[in-house]
Amino acid sequence: MDILNLIFLFVAAFIAGGVNAVAGGGTIFSFSALSFSFPMVNANATNAAALWPGSLSSAYAYRKELSANKRLFVILLVPTMLGALAGAVLLVNTSESVFRRLVPFLVLFALFLFAFKDQMMQVVRQGKAIPIVNGEPVLSPLAYVWGVCFQFCIALYGGYFGAGMGILSLSSFGLMGLRDIHKMNALKNPLVVFINLLATFYFLADGKVIIPMAILMGIGALIGGYVAARLSKRISQSALRTFVIVMGLCVTAWLFYRSIPFWQ
């Protein structure tokens, strides 16, 4: 691969890391950049391997807030691990032609989640909050059943593709009755780390990860996330949101165009 392609991938990862740190939705950029040069299944696996360190740093930043939901975290960890492995297995057993047909719809779904995440969270917050005893939420049996089942589905989606799973997780926690966004993020971030990490290990074992590209883009994403976090107060959220949506629609249109030969 020539130097221009390497620079292109590094810059895409830098942008993805920065966007993820400030607003979310950056996975669309890094995955699409990889799909220019590599088969889409390999691009998706490599993208997961490249971006999980950024999730780890976010999880560490919220480590104190996680103590309020540690019991719920342990309960949700089992369906998270099972779902992530199931999604990874499903991906490596999906043919390139089939995955290429699915990708435009997956990216469009992720873009929809990003575009309407505020409205989704607003609807969720209108529900009745659950009581807090000794600093921990008191969930009903039905809430636990919902949380376990939906967390498995989120993890399966995350192991298979992943873009937008953080928004799905927050919505699920909100439907369970949680309301404190910081504690919800503290619960979401380590679960996302487990999803990406387990999927990455499986992809590595199956030889789907292009390791040099994962390392290069991982460095770019970490630098981009750090820079964006430092400049977050100067970045217009509305402008960034518009940028992600517009670019995401362009990427989706290109992915649909690439998929046309497979529909004929």
Six-digit token string for 2 = 């020539």
pLDDT, one tens digit for every residue, the chain (264 residues): 788 889 999 998 888 887 776 666 778 888 888 988 899 999 999 998 988 777 777 677 777 777 777 888 999 999 999 999 999 999 999 999 899 889 889 888 888 887 887 777 676 666 566 656 555 666 677 878 888 999 999 999 999 997 778 888 888 888 887 777 778 878 888 898 899 899 999 999 999 999 999 999 989 888 887 787 677 667 676 777 788 788 888 888 888 887 765 545
Quote the CA–CA distance of 223 and 225 in Å, as a whole number.
5
SS (H, E, C) 14-73: HHHHHHHHHCCCCHHHHHHHHHHHCCHHHHHHHHHHHHHHHHHHHHHHCHHHHHHHHHHH
pTM (2 d.p.): 0.83
Six-digit token string for 135 = 């600093």
